[in-house]
A = this chain, B = another copy of it.
Amino acid sequence: MEKKKRKKLEEKGYRVGSAADFLELTPEEEAYIDIRLDISKLVKAQRAKRGWTQEQLARAIGSSQSRIAKLEGGDPGISLDLMIKALLRLGTSKKQIGKLLEGELEPA
**Chain A residues close to B by CB (< 8 Å):** 27-28, 31-32, 34-35, 38, 79-81, 84-85, 88-89, 93-95, 97-104
Contact = CB atoms under 8 A, between A and B. Distances in A.
Copies in the complex: 2
Q: Is the interface of A mostly helix, strand, loop or mixed?
A: helix
Nearest to A60: B28
A93 B94 CA distance: 17
Given A28-B89, A98-B104, A99-B102, 19 more contacts: A27-B88, A28-B85, A31-B88, A31-B93, A34-B94, A35-B84, A35-B94, A79-B81, A80-B80, A81-B81, A94-B102, A94-B103, A95-B101, A95-B102, A95-B103, A97-B101, A98-B100, A98-B102, A102-B102
